[in-house]
A and B are shown apart, each in its own frame.
Chain A
């Protein structure tokens, strides 16, 4: 057996991390900073993968990090370290202070407005650690992969199934007196298999993710989904170039909302790098579209009581009746635009677009003839102009019914038109990520094929 090192005092780990953050803030003041902001985190985890019925990798994770930003008046410097020892913490403060001596005065730089900092911390139920042993984790991954491999005789190979579990602590503090931390956990199970028919190989996957292990989809179900998704791609044909309506399936439609958020993010607005510049109060979607942020949903993956600067998060509308109601702002970008932070330093927390009455089959009926896209490839999005051109794969639909799988084509348009001409949002909402959306029917895009 190995000789384990003696552990330091049994003080609560969250309190220890808070003490470290407080010490770091004190050190920054000591070194002359007029303001400082510190974040620290500890994370442990286990990842196992199984392939062809047997364990392939077991990974034990243990990582730590501390990052700070110091202000000398309106000069700013940042530094981070993976070493949380007192000496490394002091050196990191010194590094940040050295940088702040060289950066320029920036009138918008500084800590958040004190009145915007979070003062109440709703219980968000984010911490459900999973004390699973590697052997049990391997068993779950094997069960998931077996379910996929046994689902259909055309499943010929596998990339394996993977089970990941992480738990961690995160503390954030600043020199305005904000100091808070909380624990969270995140577990996931995924599998990817390969099908083969008539010399064509296709791969697809499925995954489940949750704050609590009990909320994961069961392994057999995940495996079956992956197998079905793979099998239905076999026999994929190419498409000729055309224009037609397109449905983005729920599991990829979140990317479209991601581009929307990118276009209303403060950083892109004050840099004049967005096609939605000066659109506040103007229609950007059809009147039926409602998009909002719900940061306080219990157990949700994007939930957080405050943003990356300690500014409180609040449920609010981004788009009401198709009109842009709010940008997505951090303290800095808000000041650059002459506005107030919206609690979005670090991003949005649980973005939701309201569903209409139709499920995916209903959307296909409404579309009639067109394309159901289930996979998008590459970047191909220019937020300055809104030009959109991405690789895709999916299914050709006629009479509202899937005809055959298709691949090796692109879909292209301009995001401004795609948003304004959005036809319908399905009720087949994918709850797995930070963005909750059903499938989205778009009026017409250019399909480039052979």
Chain B
């Protein structure tokens, strides 16, 4: 079997339905009118599986298959869209007809020209589901259960989940340019409940990426997840009330980069800025962060959860500079918003599935390293909070207010990390939080591959990262009001 993604896509998506490329071209010809600016056909087949362990046994497993096509016609700012879970020719023709109806309402369009390109390979077109025998998947889960319980007798419950998906996509635009991608994705997560003296706490850790299950068997990776989940839970057993109010906050490296995703990432997506609904609208060239801050969205990192060889519109992904030395450089774009704003697409056009319309979305968003030693950053804080791990976050892109919730945090007193504190939500204002970054560590880390971003009801896998950061003044939502 040919390992070219496009060839695999054609074999998987077209051959079983008795289709050839020429058939798709004919479908697309229905969308050729002077009043249509852009049109595309997106075919997708996804196989997904998940295995779950609790009570020491693997008691659940699921498997799903999803196959379908979405057809879109764009005229000016208007989009017509129809999808079908039947990829036979008549269903595609019907979907094209429905999508086309938008154009009758539209303005005069322009014929698009598709640049030809050959995307680089960021991940191998492997099938994660078949990368390990079922017995080995089960054995991995059971081993992690034993390891968690062996670390500490206070471990009461262990939950382990292993999942993988094998997604094959193909996108054809009206000019007949055709792109394919084979996207593996795996994830392993360990959660524990610990109990001591009537108090219960949880800890959770995991990772993954665009690879197969062997990734978790390399070195001590899976065992590290187990150790880390138990460690976090045990730390939380000792946690005292978190402080309430504005204070200096040091954010750890890696997953705390969710700060960037919420505080500035969403606000720099092209659709909100074209429409003028973002707190960052019209601010390219302005200073929005301290000079220590350079932030990129990079879909080209090999094997990363948020990476893609091509986005869901066939555009190769890129490393897009969002903020450079404190100045706002640009937005993340899909084709529609790029065209309407008169700029080039940045490879950020993503969609949850063939049932959804693409829109500008992040890939891997991170801050480049700075000059400071992480220990020096902690030492510089007289009184504050050190937040090492986070759960999720959310942003109101119009007011700019964003939150993200710490799941492991400590007090900093006189330059030293002291008591662990209970989880608390941190809240800030996106357009000015980065102006208060006073130190940036030299320890850039990307997260371990756990992020999922939701927007308009669509979920896509993403990555984040940052070095250790010191923010002078962020509101910490604890319960203890200081005197």
Contacts and interface: CB of A to CB of B under 8 A. Distances in A.
- Which of B195, B429, B479 has the largest number of chain A CB atoms within 10 A? B479
Contacts of A273: 157, 193, 200, 202
Interface string A389-403: 111010000000000
Nearest to B93: A2
Contacts of A411: 477
Given A76-B59, A78-B63, A201-B398, A389 B77 contact: no
A343 to B, nearest CB: 21
A92 B425 CA distance: 42
A58 B102 contact: yes
Contacts of B58: 102-104
A144 to B, nearest CB: 18
B195 A272 contact: yes
Interface string B54-84: 1101111111111110000000011111111
A413 B393 CA distance: 19
B399 A236 contact: yes
A162 to B, nearest CB: 10
A241 B277 contact: no
A389 B68 contact: no
A92 B246 CA distance: 54
B427 A385 contact: no
A379 to B, nearest CB: 5
Contacts of B82: 59-60, 62
Interface stretch (B33-41, B304-312, B400-408, B458-466): B400-408
A242 interface: yes
Interface size classification for chain A: 35 or more
Contact of A380 (B86, B135, B202, B405): B405
B425 A408 contact: no
Interface string A328-347: 00000000000000000000
A81 B403 CA distance: 37
B159 A410 contact: no
For chain B, what secondary structure do more than half of its interface residues adopt (helix, strand, loop), or is it mixed?
strand
Contacts of A104: 57-59
A446 B478 contact: yes
Interface in B237-264: 242, 244-246
A421 to B, nearest CB: 14
A298 interface: no
Contacts of A157: 275-277
Interface in B101-130: 101-102, 105
B478 A412 contact: yes
A82 B85 contact: yes
A194 B398 CA distance: 8
B392 interface: yes
Given A102-B61, A273-B157, A203 B277 contact: yes
Contacts of B425: 378, 380, 389-391, 410, 412
Interface string B25-37: 0000010000000
B78 to A, nearest CB: 6
A450 B242 contact: no
B90 A5 contact: yes
Interface in A59-112: 59-64, 67, 76-83, 88, 91-92, 95-96, 98-100, 102-106, 109
A378 B244 contact: no
Contact of A391 (B68, B242, B403, B423): B403
Contacts of A326: none
Given A82-B67, A103-B59, A413-B479, A201 B279 contact: yes
Interface of B: 30, 49, 54-55, 57-68, 77-86, 88, 90-91, 93-99, 101-102, 105, 134-135, 137-138, 156-157, 159, 193, 195, 200-202, 242, 244-246, 275-277, 279, 355, 357, 391-396, 398-399, 401-405, 422-429, 473, 475-482
The 7 tightest CB contacts between A and B, nearest first, are A410-B477, A391-B403, A5-B90, A104-B57, A203-B398, A378-B403, A99-B61
10 contacts: A64-B85, A82-B66, A105-B57, A272-B200, A377-B403, A378-B403, A390-B425, A446-B244, A449-B475, A450-B475
Given A5-B91, A83-B67, A99-B49, 16 more contacts: A2-B30, A3-B93, A56-B78, A57-B357, A59-B82, A95-B63, A102-B138, A203-B277, A203-B399, A272-B156, A389-B242, A389-B423, A408-B428, A410-B477, A448-B477, A450-B245
Interface of A: 1-5, 51, 54-64, 67, 76-83, 88, 91-92, 95-96, 98-100, 102-106, 109, 134, 157, 159, 194, 200-203, 233, 236, 241-243, 271-273, 375, 377-380, 382, 384-385, 387, 389-391, 393, 407-414, 446-450
